[in-house]
Every structure is written in C-alpha cells, then in structure tokens.
Amino acid sequence: MDLHLSKAEPSTLEQETIDAAFGDLVGPSSREDRPTRSHHAGHDARARRHLLLPVLHAVHDAVGWISEGALNHVARTLSVPPAEIYGVATFYAMFSVEPRAPRVVHVCDDVACGPYGGEEIITELTDALGPEGVADADTGEACWVRSPCLGLCERAPAVLHQRTGEPDLSQAPATPDAVLAAARSVDPGTADAADEVFADTRVSVPQSGRGARLPGGEPLRLLRRIGVVDPESIDDYRAHGGYGALRRAIEFGPTRVITELEDSSLMGRGGAAFPTGVKWKGVAGAPEHPHYLVCNADESEPGTFKDRVLMESDPFGLIEAMTIAGYVTGSRTGYLYIRGEYPLATRRLLGAVESARARGYLGEDVMGEGFAFDIELRRGAGAYICGEETALLESIEGFRGEPRNKPPFPSVKGLFGKPTAINNVETLYNVLGVLDIGGQAFAEIGGGRSTGTKLFCVAGAVGAPGVYEVEFGTTLRQLLDLAGGTRGDLRTVLLGGAAGGFVMPENLDVPLTLEGTREIGATLGSGVVLVFDSHADLTGTLRRIAAFFRDESCGQCVPCRVGTVRQEEVLARLERDAPLGSRETELALLDDLARVMRDASICGLGQTAPAAITSALDLGLLDRPSRSRENGQHADRGKVPSA
C-alpha cells in the first residue's frame, strides 16, 4: 500500500517507545496466527493492527501526547493509512493529539461525584491552575479537565492523575488541597502509595472480612475473598480455595460444565441478562475456528464500581474464571478489556496474569492437562461505547469503537470474524460459584430467571456507600437498610445507572429481580443504586446524564448523534428555567426525542440514553423546581422510610 505521510518525524523517544512496544507485543503471548478482516488479509504488518491500542497507550504514557510524527511512525509500522490511525487516536478521551501539560487531573463531575465535592474541586483548580485544559501559567506542568464517572463512586469525589512517564494514580475521596499537592509536587506519589489508598477494603465493601455474611446469614459468595486474600499472592489465593473450580471444570469436561451452567440459569450480569450456558454452548459447538473469549471489564456506567472492586481485591478469581471459560468454549486466547481509568485494577491483573503464567495456570499446557489458554490485557482509553460488546471487539481489533449491526452475533462472528464468547466480570465470578456448589443448588438461590446472588453499587445519600452482595429477591428497602439507611429525607432512587430508571419511596419493597423491577418499569441494569435526598437537584442530575450520553455517543447513527445533543439542550434550558415556549412544550419534545432514539438507534447506547429522563418524566420529577444542594447536603443519617 502506498502511504501518504506528512513530513513529520517522530522524536527519538517516540520512535524507541513505539518500536519497543511492538517488539514486546509481537511474541509468544501475542501470536500472529490470528485471522484478520478479509480486506486486510495477506499483509503481515496489517495483521498486527490489533496491537494499535496498546502501542498508542505506550507512546502516550511515555510522551504525554501523540504527535503527528508518532502517528506517521505507527502508520509505517502497521502499513495502515495515517488517517485511520488518527481516527482511532482521536476517538478516545484519554488520548491527546495536541501538546498538553505532562500532568493532567481528570476530575469526575458526574452524578455521584459532582454534587458531592467534584464541583468544589473544579472551582479550586480553576483558581489555582487556570481554565480547563490549559496548563498552569506558573510552571506549565499541570492542567485539569472534567471527566465522566471514574468508577470510584463510593469514595466520592474522585480524581485521576494522568502523568507522563509515570503510572496513573487515583485519588478518592479527594480534597482540593490534596489534588493540588499531587498535581504540583515534584514527586506526587508512586503506584505503591496509590495501592495504600485502597488498602482498607471495608470502605468499598462494608461486608468484607473474615466471617462476613449475606443478610440471610449465608456466607458471602462473590465477595468472600475480599479483604481476606492478598490480591498479589497466588499462593494465598490457592490457600483460600483458588483454582479448585478450574480443577473441577477439568474433571467434569466442557459438556458437563455447560450442563451445570444451564441448570443454574445463570444470566449475564452486564445488563442484557443473556443465559451464560446458552452463550458458551453456542461458541463451544461452532464449527469455525479459532474461538475467542473476551472479558468485558470496561465498566463505565455512571454509578457503577462493582467490577473494579472485584478486580482490585480478587484478581486471581477473574483469571481463573476466564481460564474455565476458555477451556469450555475451546478458546486458546482470552482478551481482558479493562477501562483505562482503573490503574490499580490494571496493575493487579497484569501481576496476576504473570503469576498464573509462571505457575502453569496459563500457557500452552494449563496445569499439565493438555489444553492451551492465555490472556492478553487490553486497556481502554476513555470510551463508554466500548462497553457495548461489538464496539469492544472493534476496539480490540484496532479500529474506532463503533458498534456493529447485529446479527450476526459475536457467538457466530465476533473477534477477528470468529466465534467469540463475551462475558462481563461479575458473570465470570459467578461461574466459580456454580462450579463450587453445582448448578441445581445455585438455581435455588433467588428464583425464576434471577438466580444466585447479585452485586449492587450503592452510592449517594446513604450512610455507608459501597458494593453489597445480596440474594436476588432482596427488596430495595432491605438493601438500603444494609447500607446504613438514607441521609436526610429520601426523594428517589436511580436504579440501573444512567441507562436505568427512578424508583419512588412508595416502591421500595420491590424485589430486586429481573421480573420484579420490570413490573414497576425499572431495571437492574449494571447494579447501580444511586440515592437522592430531598435536597437533590434532579433537573441538574438529568442534565449531567444527558451530557454524558452526548459526549459518549460514537456518532455513527443519526438518532443517537443528534438526539443526545438535543436532549441535553432541552434539559439545560429547563435547568436555567429558560424554556423555548412553555415548559410543557419542552417536556413533550423530550418525549419525542426519547421515542426516536429508542426505536431507531443502532445500539444500546442510543436506545437507553433517554431511559432515566423518560422515567423522570413519567414520575413527574421534572415538574418540580430545581433544588440547590448547598443546604442540607450532608444531613444526618436517617433510616429508610418504613412500610
């Protein structure tokens, strides 16, 4: 292919970084026998396009931005047009193709952090460093930017420090003084120091620790190792039952494991609730080879942080579960796609993969049992749309994370055009539970289509925010009581995240099951339970949600690309109390926009972008005047209203 490159050349550091990244990635753990798209077939360099995202990460981490010369060098190395490389680099929010300060402070201003200190941090940073995105005038070393949810909602407010040549660091809960100190300090901290911030898992998992129990008295299942096992020790993991499920899976064989999953009625925990056994059976029996496994750890729904907690505190559990999935579906390679805003989880998972590989739990002959399976970690770079399964596949393959049309579904034509099983993190951890107690016993927990236990991310105006594990069928009232009750007078609960819906106080006795929430027009979604008291500014919150979907739309289809913008514009006018025409006209426009996006968008993002707003309209929440959070924001803890 004739590449039309500009005259820009990479710096010595950029060239060395790019060449080293390719050299490290093209090796035994990154086999080049993968099929490629038909229009790329037959070209050795372009067959490595799936390495594009990690290479862009490498140069961005080292230099702080991706220059035109660096883009040219990547294009030459891959024999891919530079316009395509540029298109990928500009797709992700965490990448910059313009020079910027070497330290970038990403401040979460989303629904869980913005009202709980995020805006105060932004005000302080503006005074100290200057406008958003502009390097501070004194040193030119730091700048700040607004960020969507960083997945640290239980520790709100949260910030992420992106630092050139050094590991990224999270701060949560953050204070303006601490954020400024980290941004300006010559030595703002190390990865080890960041680990210490999260050492006390009781903050994120109030149920954690030895002897922790479910509300009914049964032992924890998904969270049982949190706060008990050293997340960096494979020996400690094994001492607490680790790799017992993999041994059992090998004893059963793939067919028996699938039968156990079907008996368990385990549904996917990512929101779509597709039967896991059916998915694995379809991939395992697909005649076309090779097969692939993908773990969707791109947890980006505002208010969601359960997968982050599991990966940070029990990383070997995910590695074991992926190995079982690879064995059962006949996949030699598994991709773990984790969101770029999770630096601690990423470090611990990389360490777990290396430890498992060194001890024979990954590789060409897993546990000496004659099957091969290995894991490659792919770090996202700030794109919520990549949580959609086909957009995630596009991202892994080195393209912009834009959803594909379905059918065909990934189990038939997925990664590199081959049969692919895609599961989210919580689903895979549940597989360990199914093999521990058996499919029939698992199905007896909960009921109906909602079997087993479920993790919920409780945040906002509650006494003890965090991840909670309860059996399906637990009521919302019981869950809120478990989380210490509400602070102040409960106004409403956002269930299921930004793509979910609101539940009013009179519906707190709804059983948290797929069926129960559907009966009241709600959804479990990703497990978000975001609580709002009587001082909450719900119009402002909905405007934030609309802004989130506007930013995160990939722009591929008109209903979503245009609809999310118009939706935010209407809510912004309502927030300012400056409607075009009457308020009723604006509300009717919101309803019309929702109908079009829901019916005509190409993927779940556009289809669910108006969900929370529609829910608020149906419940009359937008008919009330906006309320300031300045007074009563931290009201005394109160109990959930009794029945």
Residues 161 and 194 sit within 8 Å (Cβ to Cβ): no
Mean pLDDT of the chain: 90
Q: According to the model, what pLDDT value does residue 568 have?
A: 95
Residues 110-130 have a mean pLDDT of 95
Query: Is the pLDDT assigned to residue 471 strictly greater than 60?
Result: yes
Q: For each of the domains in the chain, give its residue range(s) and CATH number, in order of start.
A: 12-89 (no CATH), 103-189 (3.40.30.10), 234-444 (3.40.50.11540), 447-533 (3.10.20.600), 538-623 (1.20.1440.230)
Check if the beta carbon of residue 545 is closer than 8 Å to that of residue 111: yes
pLDDT at 188 over 60: no
pLDDT, tens only, 124-155: 999 999 999 999 988 899 999 999 999 999 99
Is 9 buried (19+), middle (13-18) or exposed (0-12) by CB count in 10 A?
Answer: middle
pLDDT at 634: 35
CB within 8 A of 437, min separation 6: which ones?
none
H or E, element range at 432: helix 425-437
Q: Where are the beta strands (DSSP E) in 452-527?
A: 453-460, 466-471, 490-495, 501-503
pLDDT tens-digit series, residues 487-525: 999 999 999 999 999 999 999 999 999 999 999 999 999
pLDDT for residue 203:
79
pLDDT digits (tens, 9 = 90+) for 425-451: 999 999 999 999 999 999 999 978 899
- The pLDDT of residue 39: 35
Alpha helices in 163-253 (DSSP H): 176-184, 191-197, 234-239, 244-252
The answer to whether 439 and 259 have CB atoms below 8 angstroms apart is yes
DSSP 8-class letter at 152: -
Distance CA 292, CA 229 (A): 30
Q: Is residue 492 helix, strand or coil?
A: strand
The pLDDT confidence band at residue 45, using thresholds 50, 70 and 90, is low
Can you tell me the mean pLDDT for 457-481? 96
What distance in Å separates the CA atoms of residue 22 and residue 16, rounded to the nearest whole number?
10
For residue 6, the 8-state DSSP code is: -
Percent of the chain with pLDDT over 90: 81
User: At 510, which amino acid appears?
Assistant: V
Contact 496, 469 (CB under 8 A): no
pLDDT tens track for 345-367 = 999 999 999 999 999 999 999 99
Please determine, for residue 249, whether its predicted confidence score (pLDDT) is greater than 70: yes
For 406, other C-beta atoms within 10 Å of its C-beta total 13
The letter for the amino acid at 238 is R
Q: What is the pLDDT of residues 378-422, one digit of tens each?
A: 999 999 999 999 999 999 999 999 999 999 999 999 999 999 999
Specify the pLDDT at position 48. 86
Cα–Cα distance measured from residue 395 to residue 149, given in angstroms and rounded to the nearest whole number: 20
pLDDT digits (tens, 9 = 90+) for 546-603: 999 999 999 999 999 999 999 999 999 988 889 999 999 999 999 999 999 999 999 9
Beta-strand relationship, 374-379 and 446-447: unpaired
Residue range 206-216, pLDDT digits in tens: 998 777 899 98
How does residue 1 score in pLDDT terms, banded at 50, 70 and 90?
low
Among the listed residues 90, 93, 95, 66, the one whose alpha carbon sits nearest the alpha carbon of residue 8: 66
Nearest partner of 457 among 152, 241, 165, 163, judged by Cα? 152
Strand partners, 511: 475
pLDDT digits (tens, 9 = 90+) for 270-280: 878 899 999 99
- Check pLDDT > 80 for residue 114: yes
- Find out whether 264 and 278 touch, Cβ atoms under 8 Å: no
Q: Is the pLDDT of residue 641 over 60?
A: no
Residue type at position 32? E
Res 200: pLDDT: 62
pLDDT of residue 186: 58
pLDDT of residue 397: 97
Distance CA 453, CA 198 (A): 25
Token representation of residue 257: 């494991």
Q: What is the pTM of this model?
A: 0.93
**Per-residue model confidence (pLDDT) at position 28:** 44
Q: Which residues pair with 337 in a beta bridge?
A: 296, 378
Q: Tell me which of 150-154, 167-171, 357-361, 628-632 is least confident.
A: 628-632
- 310's enclosing H/E stretch is helix 306-313
